[in-house]
Structure 1
């Protein structure tokens, strides 16, 4: 029988907040960042933030399930940008709407999402594995 996954709500809330701050900073200070960081880090961090949000909603879910779910959400949001209606474009024109839903479809964003989800999943897996090792030495 598989042991229940335990995640610290506080740790994941801190990860969520830190990722949000870094993501906003990547947009706010884009002019002083290297071009590749300014262009792609915000999207990768956004996808990582989705992973952290999902860990808050489903703290006992497997890392794989969280990662796949986060990527599906990111993919859905990106594909939704192909839909161009006045009402949704008005939402996307606001700062919050642009940050949450993006502004236009870009294939490169899918790579950024995959990187962001993968890095967050790797960190989550390491933290969960570390907790299991601490609870049951020798396993």
Structure 2
């Protein structure tokens, strides 16, 4: 008998993605709701969580650790991509959607926020968004 890999619940992954997007936008629109000491970093962590959940909706059979690693690599690639300040990509970043997706300036602390967000999302994925067989 072949073992069937468990599968993510696609609709739950999409719902988690939408929820995290809403929370991330709220964290930027209403920063007074969060402790001032956290600055913009809750939004960065939520952005990383969105990547995990969106990938989970696509890669429904990927193991959680693989999903987390892939999401973390994407987050780090986008952050290191901010070191590139060419006119063409800065024009994309000037648009609100481009800024939300690509950011604007590199920051080492952002990498910590992404790591925390991916870790939290991986725990949620493992605990609640994966079908048990």
**Separation of aligned partners in 2, 1:75 and 1:126:** 25
**Unaligned segments of structure 1, at least 5 residues:** none
Q: Which has the higher contact order (CA 8 A, sep 6+)?
A: 2
* Residues 30-41 of structure 1: pairs in structure 2 closer than 5 A: 30-41=31-42
Paired residues, number:
132
**Separation of aligned partners in 2, 1:56 and 1:128:** 10
What's the TM-score, normalizing by structure 1? 0.88
**Separation of aligned partners in 2, 1:15 and 1:2:** 28
**Separation of aligned partners in 1, 2:31 and 2:3:** 44
**Separation of aligned partners in 1, 2:30 and 2:95:** 19
* Preserved contact between residue 6 and residue 59 of structure 1 (Cα < 8 Å): yes
Cα root mean square deviation, aligned: 1.5
Larger-Rg structure: 1
Match of 2:107 in 1: 106
What's the TM-score, normalizing by structure 2? 0.92
3-state SS of the aligned residue for 2:40?
Answer: helix
User: 2:29 matched to 1:28?
Assistant: yes
Structure 1 runs of 4+ aligned residues shifted over 4 Å read: none
Match of 1:84 in 2: 85
* Preserved contact between residue 11 and residue 57 of structure 2 (Cα < 8 Å): no
Match of 2:118 in 1: 117
Q: Give the deviation of 1:3 after TM superposition.
A: 3.6
